[in-house]
Structure 1
Amino acid sequence: MAHEDDALEHERASWKPSPGLAVAVTDPVHNPELPPHRARMTDKDPAAMKTAVRTVYTLFYLSVAASIWAVAAYMIFPIESGRIVDIRNNNLFVGLGIALALLAIGIGAIHWSKAVMSDKEFIEPRHATRGRDTTRAAAVQAFADANEESGFGRRTMIRNSLIAAVAASIVPGIALFRGLAPQDTPEHPNGGNPVYLLSHTMWKKGMRLAHDPEGTPIRAADITLGSAVHVIPEPLAELSHHDGYLEEKAKAIVLLMRLLPEQLNPETNKLDWTYDGIVAYSKVCTHVGCPVALYEQQTHHLLCPCHQSQFDVANGAAVIFGPAARALPQLPIEVDDEGYLVAMSDFTEPVGPSFWERH
């Protein structure tokens, strides 16, 4: 073996490349370094820098004005009037105001970064250790340098206009949320209280259940096993849109289903709220108020298509999946002398989404 190793070493030492054989030479890769810095017009001309700064804070103040306009348009064209022209103008001008406010902030921020902030290239070496006093001091210095390069601390007009624009951009959203809250009316002085408003619907004792939207009364004998029927109070079909049709329907809509009586597991205080396996629940999801309208016959589950909350019809419409916080309110029902399904009373709890004031 020793003789063979010596022969191999001698062969390696005596080997030379043939004249036609190219041999690659591994030299270190040349570092091209950073390209020469090209000064911008704003770097060379103070007047151009002033113009750029003026443009940036003008855009930010334009955003403030657009946000104020969005709130003003919301009040000038009230959707509560119910007129189509007001609803159309409200959507148009409020949307334009919000769009312009956000667009002005975006354009101003981009112009600020490209024309005003320092655009010099910097190299930050990576360190093997961290947490030392020198490292902490370097981090503080980095923030100070970033503040100096961006001009956020020095250029007060840009800083103040940006803060004002961002703060004002939130105001239209706050104003729009006001429209979601119940409001007092001469007919309903307590209408501003959501507990009061959502605790009272059109349903009354003896009021017939009717098909949605035609308003035809429903006989118990017509509800087949496994069916799901969309229901409204019978008098609702006679209301016009100017008489509050949509508002009343939004609270009173019901989904009617029929199971085998032995499949139902009602609570003790709701034993007489069904009729021969027929149950009625509010269609308004207890999460954010979407219509719960998808019924699975085999599992007896109701599904909200918005956020996939699921309710178990056989067990009081209890929540079995999803973000909904409570079961769907149940409408107590019975039949009248003519065999029509009627309500025994209104809902005994507020319909719709859960909220803090609900008891």
Structure 2
Amino acid sequence: MSDHHDLVVPEATEEPIANPGLPEHLPRPTDVDPVAEKRAERQVATLFGLSALFAILTCVAYFAVGKYDAFLGLGASNVALGSGLGLALLSIGAGLIQWSRKLMSDHEIVEMRHPASSSEEERSEAVAAFEQGLEDSGIARRPLIRNSLLGAMGALGLPAIVFLRDLGPLPGDKLQHTVWKKGMRVVQDVDGARIRPSDMQIGQLVNAEPEVFFETNSEGEPVIEGTELLQEKAKAAVILVRMHPDDIKPWKGRENWGVDGILCFSKICTHVGCPISLWEQQTHHLLCPCHQSTFDLADNGKVIFGPAGRHLPQLPLAVDDQGYLVATSDFTEPVGPSYWERG
């Protein structure tokens, strides 16, 4: 039988890394001279004040300097805005550096790190160290620095608010109206072909638009084009569906909004505005491909599943004297996703 010996590992008593030693701590002038301390405090507050001033001047330059003026061969507006905002940020940075170098605590701290999670005792020590750091920073007992820093940070928000103006004018009531109006024909969105009720079969879906998108003036130019056309298309796109009239359950006042079982609804989902055309003929359900909102078109576009919070807006239809499908008015409610002004 062989002898067994327990392996005894001596407890480590040395630090994992030899202490290299630290040079003797030398106090800073602001640590021993109250006059130097006050002077440094005023310097930091001045830098924070300059930051607020530059932020305000940036806002002034936004309105005062022309966007097409030149300065040293560069756009004057860009130079003014960039310089003002850059100096505002530089002043805050310089003030924070000056504060930390001359006024915050100047004592070295050593922490031994281990790969395991910290114990409750170590966590308590970390909280105490954080609170000690706040105390050493002097932010509580130096109201001049604290208040000037808060003022500088608050002033930096002014340029951001002013620059929001470049996002364009507020929409006003443009989101509540489309180009649809009484007597405007409903045409296919690909070639602008006009649609008669006899052109559609029960169960069919047609992607459609108002005919004005395909119209031209006397000089052969489009009536609506460019950015305006894209904006109006985003609101006025519709779908036509045909179902058996007996399957339709119109709300009060909508009894005459369809033609022989043909109904017209906005193509824009009321959740986040995705275009919809996934049509289930048997159930009369329209499915949004983005987030699976489902609308029952036989029941006034009511939401039956998904995140959409509003029914799909319906466009009232009629037939003109030439037998083509036309709208009898604009949508009676805003189309598209819900927004801040819509209940």
Q: 1:139-288, aligned counterparts within 5 Å?
A: 144-150=131-137, 152-153=139-140, 160-161=148-149, 164-165=152-153, 168-169=156-157, 172=160, 175-176=163-164, 179=167, 182=170, 192=172, 194=173, 197-212=174-189, 214-237=191-214, 238-241=222-225, 244-288=228-272
Residue type at the aligned position of 1:303: C
Displacement of 1:277: 2.8
SS in 2 for 1:236: helix
Structure 1 residues 350 and 104, CA, compared in 2 at 3 Å: closer, same or farther? farther
In 2: Cα distance, 1:45 partner to 1:240 partner: 72
Q: Does the CA-based 8 Å contact 2:212-2:224 persist in structure 1?
A: no
Q: Does the CA-based 8 Å contact 1:63-1:100 persist in structure 2?
A: no
Q: Does the CA-based 8 Å contact 2:100-2:137 persist in structure 1?
A: no
Residue 24 of structure 1 corresponds to which residue in structure 2?
Answer: 7
Worse-matched range after superposition: 340-349 or 115-124: 115-124
Residue 326 of structure 2 corresponds to which residue in structure 1?
Answer: 342
Residue 217 of structure 2 corresponds to which residue in structure 1?
Answer: none
Residue 297 of structure 1 corresponds to which residue in structure 2?
Answer: 280
Displacement of 1:108: 8.8
Q: Does the CA-based 8 Å contact 1:61-1:161 persist in structure 2?
A: no
| Cα RMSD for the two superposed structures | 5.5
Q: Which one of the candidate residues 297, 301, 311 is aligned to 1:313?
A: 297
Structure 1 residues 344 and 158, CA, compared in 2 at 3 Å: closer, same or farther? same
SS in 1 for 2:135: helix
Displacement of 1:343: 0.6
Give per-residue Cα distances to partners, 1:299-353, cap 9 Å, x unaligned: 5223162x55433323222223444331121101122243321112111122233
SS in 2 for 1:244: helix
Q: Does the CA-based 8 Å contact 2:276-2:286 persist in structure 1?
A: no
How many residue pairs match? The answer is 304
Structure 1 residues 336 and 323, CA, compared in 2 at 3 Å: closer, same or farther? same
Residue 72 of structure 2 corresponds to which residue in structure 1?
Answer: none
In 1: Cα distance, 2:183 partner to 2:200 partner: 19
Residue type at the aligned position of 2:199: D
Q: Does the CA-based 8 Å contact 2:48-2:91 persist in structure 1?
A: yes
SS in 1 for 2:209: strand
In 1: Cα distance, 2:306 partner to 2:152 partner: 39
Q: Does the CA-based 8 Å contact 1:265-1:314 persist in structure 2?
A: yes
SS in 2 for 1:148: helix
Structure 1 residues 168 and 106, CA, compared in 2 at 3 Å: closer, same or farther? closer
The normalised TM-score by structure 1 is 0.59
Worse-matched range after superposition: 344-353 or 203-212: 344-353
Give per-residue Cα distances to partners, 1:49-91, cap 9 Å, x unaligned: x99xx99x9799879968986997799899xxxxxxxxxx9xx
Give per-residue Cα distances to partners, 1:241-280, cap 9 Å, x unaligned: 3693234333322222233434433223212212233221
Q: Does the CA-based 8 Å contact 1:60-1:165 persist in structure 2?
A: no
Structure 1 residues 203 and 157, CA, compared in 2 at 3 Å: closer, same or farther? same
In 2: Cα distance, 1:230 partner to 1:326 partner: 21
In 2: Cα distance, 1:246 partner to 1:355 partner: 20
In 1: Cα distance, 2:246 partner to 2:261 partner: 8
Q: Does the CA-based 8 Å contact 2:259-2:318 persist in structure 1?
A: yes
The normalised TM-score by structure 2 is 0.61
